[in-house]
Amino acid sequence: MRDPRGGWCKTWRLATLIALAGAVVPAAAAQESTRREIGPPPAIVTGRIVGPDKKALEQVDVVLGDSLDVTDRHGRFLFDPVAPGMHEVLVRKIGFAPVRFRLSVTAGDVWDGTITLLASAQSLPEVVVLDSTKSLRNFRPAWLTGFVDRRRIGLGNFYDRVDIEKANVNRVAYLLSRIPGIHAREMAGYDQITVARCQVGAPSKGVLWVDGIKMETTSTGRFAVLGEYQPEELWGVEIYRGRGSIPPQYDDPQACLVIVLWTNRR
C-alpha cells in the first residue's frame, strides 16, 4: 500500500527485513556446521634428547608413527600437530642404543619429555610411557640386566614391554600360544598349556615364576595362578621349553616348561 505521504516506505521496509532474516539463517547454520567439522584440537609432542652425560644430542632421528624429525643443536624435536591417540615412537642415532616406546596423547595435550640415549655397548633399558601426563618414565628394574643377557643367549622366547603391547592379547597364556609348539586354552578357573614334544605330566612339570619367586608347579599343564596376571601389568616374559634351555636359577627337577613373569607390581 502506498504511503499517504507519498511513498512505499512501510512495504519496502517489511520486504527488506524478510530478506535479511532469510540470509541470516543460512549463515548461522553454516557457522554451526563449520564448528562441528573442526573437531577436537590436535596434540603437540616435543622434547629433548640427551646422552649419558645429560648433554644435548643433535642429529638424532625421532620417528613418531610415519613422521620423522631430527634434533637440533639443543637436542630438541617437535611434532605439531599430532592426532590424539596411541603412537609408536622410535629414537635412534648411530653409536647409541635405540629407544622404542608407545605414547598416548589426548586432544589439546602438549607432551614434553627428556629421553636419554645410552652408548650401544651398554645394556638397553626398557623405556615405556605409562600415560600422557607429559612426562617420560624410564623404568630400569634390577632384573632387567639378567633378562637382556638371557635374551641374547637365545635359549628361550622373550617378550619385552613393547612386544607385549604389540601382541595385543588379553591373557598371558595367549602370549605363549604365539610360540610355535605351544597351545594354550582358557578353561574354567585355569589355563591349560600344552607343549609339543614336551608332555607335561608325571614325571614332567610346568613351573611358573613371578618376580623371581616360584609361584606354581603343575604336572597336568593346568596353571591356576597364571590367569591372575594381566598382560598390561607385565614388563617382561620368558618362556623355556625342554631341560636344555632352562637357566640354572629357574631350573626345577623334571621341569619341562618354565614361565617367568616380571610385573610392575614391584
pLDDT tens digits, 32-51: 544 455 566 788 999 999 99
Q: For residue 40, what pLDDT is reported?
A: 65
CA–CA gap between residue 191 and residue 169 (Å, rounded): 14
Q: For residue 249, what pLDDT is reported?
A: 92
Residue type, 160: D
Per residue in 251-263, pLDDT (tens digit) is 887 788 999 999 8
Q: For residue 243, is pLDDT > 50? A: yes
Per residue in 98-134, pLDDT (tens digit) is 898 888 888 888 888 899 998 875 444 444 443 333 3
Span 146-263: which CATH code? 2.170.130.10
Contacts of 110 (CB under 8 A, 6+ apart): 43, 44, 46, 134
CA–CA gap between residue 210 and residue 221 (Å, rounded): 17
* Three-state secondary structure call for residue 194: strand
Per residue in 180-189, pLDDT (tens digit) is 888 898 888 8
Share of the chain above pLDDT 90, in %: 28
- Assess contact for 242 and 181: CB atoms under 8 A: no
Q: For residue 200, what pLDDT is reported?
A: 52
CA–CA gap between residue 234 and residue 259 (Å, rounded): 13
- As annotated, the residues of the chain forming the CATH 2.170.130.10 domain(s) are 146-263
CA–CA gap between residue 156 and residue 152 (Å, rounded): 10
Residue 231, phi then psi, degrees to nearest 5: -55, -35
- As annotated, the residues of the chain forming the CATH 2.60.40.1120 domain(s) are 43-140
Residue 93 or residue 42, greater confidence:
93
DSSP 117-168: --BTTSPPPEE---SSSS---EE--TTHHHHHHHHHHTSSEEE-HHHHHHH-
Q: For residue 51, what pLDDT is reported?
A: 92
Peptide bond into 81 cis (omega under 30): yes
The domain defined by 43-140 folds into: Immunoglobulin-like (2.60.40)
